[in-house]
Amino acid sequence: METTLNITSLPVMEAFYTLQGEGYHQGKAAYFIRLGGCGVGCVWCDVKESWDAEKFKKFKVKSLTFKVKQTPAQIVVITGGEPLMHNLDELTKELQHAGLKTHIETSGSSPLSGNWDWICLSPKKFKAPLPEILQKADELKVVIFNKSDFNWAEKYAALVSPDCKLYLQPEWDKASIVTPMIIDYIKSNPQWELSLQIHKYINVS
């Protein structure tokens, strides 16, 4: 179910300063804002508690920016849930006005809003990404759950721009099984790179 909220306040499940653990920017310090609400419903989602936006307190965009500025963060990652269920124009405007880089992690299943320095698209089989987002993605990150997901990944690799970075990431609970498969696949298809959830290996948020 789509959620419509005042664009100057957003439901926040959690917000924290840590390291980006995945994809192109892994290892970089970043402030994460995890918004509540998701209409995708991945069976292997590790933050299912984020799905119901009504459970979470709404914060003003200005107060979120203030929280970020209390840290040395230069990058702010907006994630979820599915963050694009909300209009993010005002949030990114405030963050960028404060001199911060804006990154988003999205399934692409809701219309694109906000002004982004980096768009990480992680499409899900449960709800396909919208065509408008595919060509704007800077990074395509596909979670591999089983062998058939490689063909599914190639389907979307053919739809993003030629400059889009391509990543394959093992689903955490099946990492011991699928990581060797991903390594072999990348060796045969070197346009792809491996993304690991390093924050889980080093035990940070």
Q: Note whether residue 2 is domain-resident.
A: no
Q: Note whether residue 101 is domain-resident.
A: yes
Print the domain residue range for 111: 9-201
Q: Note whether residue 72 is domain-resident.
A: yes
Question: How do residues 113-162 score in pLDDT, each as one tens digit?
Answer: 999 999 999 998 878 899 999 999 999 999 999 999 999 999 999 999 99
Identify the band that residue 99 occupies on the pLDDT scale cut at 50, 70 and 90. Answer: very high
Q: Note whether residue 3 is domain-resident.
A: no
Mean pLDDT over 172-184 rounds to 92
Residue 168 sits at φ, ψ, to 5 deg, of -115, 130
Q: What is the pTM of this model?
A: 0.89
Q: Count the domains in the chain.
A: 1
- CATH number, position 193: 3.20.20.70
Q: Is the dihedral of CA 151, 154, 155, 156 positive or negative?
A: positive
Type of residue at 172: W
In whole angstroms, give the CA distance from residue 22 to residue 57.
27
Q: Note whether residue 193 is domain-resident.
A: yes
Helix (H, G, I), strand (E, B) or coil at 182: helix
Q: Note whether residue 1 is domain-resident.
A: no
